[in-house]
């Protein structure tokens, strides 16, 4: 499926209404939304390994909260992680955010790129160290497979730095085509990841 420009392709969320403001602390996990056809539930991975990564990821959480037509529902704990598939780079700080949004997947991706640019991200080469990396992991339960955007993110199920924070805020979440995110966790147990304190 190609994404088109509208989120009209998105299947409406079907589980219980789990909207909780980000400030609500460690309340109920995010499941999905209900009752508002223009509200979609997106999960976004945040990562940084340059220029005070902790501060970058915290600030990126605030930037996500400021996106138009969107509301930050939850930001996971921050995790320190050893880079996967790259040698000689600093550790990353990672987190996952749950966002309620009326932006379509391509518009949301544009907005994420704009935040990355604001944080000084340069795309020098594949796997270059980054001040901020934002990936769209999931958008409702839709599948997008275009040149520019793949949702679910094609490698999310292979990354502990995605699965651990994602499962912290949405333990029941499904990865379309792959089953529950929780089922993939044992497969990444060798990846080194440490949850950081508040
Ligand atoms: P990266 O450098 O790892 O952030 O990859 C960014 C590239 O991946 C861009 O060219 C995006 O268009 C593409 N891309 C494909 N699917 C996604 C996604 N779900 N989230 C973020 N970027 C994506």
What is the atom index within ligand 1 of the atom nearest the CA of 133? 4
**CATH classification of the domain holding 89:** 3.30.70.560
Domain contains 32: no
Residue found under tokens 């605030």: 62
Q: In this structure, is residue 9 part of a structural domain?
A: no
Tell whether ligand 1 has an atom less than 6 A from the beta carbon of residue 100: no
- Residue 112 belongs to domain spanning: 37-195
Q: What is the pLDDT of residue 123?
A: 61
> Is 23 part of any domain?
no
Residue nearest to atom 1 of ligand 1 (CA): 133
Instruction: Look at residue 45 and tell me if it is in a domain.
Output: yes
For the segment 102-121, the average pLDDT, to the nearest whole number, is 94
Which range is least confidently modeled, 106-110, 112-116, 122-126? 122-126
9 lines ligand 1 (CB under 6 A): no
Establish if 2 belongs to a structural domain.
no
Residue closest by Cα to atom 23 of ligand 1: 149
When pLDDT is cut at 50, 70 and 90, the band that residue 21 belongs to is: very low
Q: For residues 158 and 198, give the distance between their C-alpha atoms in angstroms, rounded to a whole number.
A: 26
Q: Specify the higher pLDDT residue, 29 or 166.
A: 166
Q: What percent of the chain has pLDDT over 90?
A: 66
* Per-residue pLDDT at 20 exceeds 50: no
In angstroms, what is the span from residue 84 Cα to ligand 1's centroid? 16
Predicted TM-score of the model (pTM)? 0.83
Give the CA angle between residues 31, 115, 60 to the nearest 5°.
60
Share of the chain above pLDDT 70, in %: 76
53, two tokens: 């990564």
- 75, part of any domain: yes
Render pLDDT for 139-157 as a digit per residue (tens, 0 to 9): 999 999 999 999 999 999 9
In a domain, 184, yes or no: yes
pLDDT surpasses 60 at 17 = no
Q: Does any domain span residue 115?
A: yes
DSSP labels, 138-152: EETT--EE-SS-EES
Split into its structural domains, the chain has a count of: 1
Task: For ligand 1, atom 21, name the residue with the nearest CA.
Answer: 135
Q: Report residue 88's pLDDT band, with 50, 70 and 90 as the boundaries.
A: confident
């Amino acid at each position: 499926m190609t994404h088109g420009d509208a989120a009209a392709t998105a299947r409406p969320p079907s589980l219980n209404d789990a909207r909780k403001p980000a400030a609500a602390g460690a309340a109920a996990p995010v499941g999905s939304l209900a009752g508002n056809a223009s509200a979609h539930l997106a999960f976004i991975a945040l990562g940084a390994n340059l220029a005070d990564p902790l501060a970058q990821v915290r600030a990126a959480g605030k930037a996500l909260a400021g996106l138009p037509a969107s509301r930050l529902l939850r930001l996971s704990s921050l995790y320190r992680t050893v880079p996967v598939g790259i040698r000689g780079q600093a550790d990353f700080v990672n987190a996952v955010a749950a966002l309620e949004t009326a932006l379509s997947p391509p518009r949301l991706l544009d907005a994420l790129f704009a935040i990355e640019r604001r944080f000084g991200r340069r795309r020098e080469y594949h796997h270059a160290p980054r001040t901020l990396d934002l990936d769209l992991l999931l958008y409702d339960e839709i599948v997008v497979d275009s040149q520019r955007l793949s949702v679910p993110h094609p490698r999310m199920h292979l990354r502990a730095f995605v699965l651990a924070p994602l499962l912290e805020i949405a333990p029941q979440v499904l990865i379309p085509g792959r089953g529950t995110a929780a089922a993939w966790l044992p497969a990444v147990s060798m990846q080194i990841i440490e949850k950081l304190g508040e």
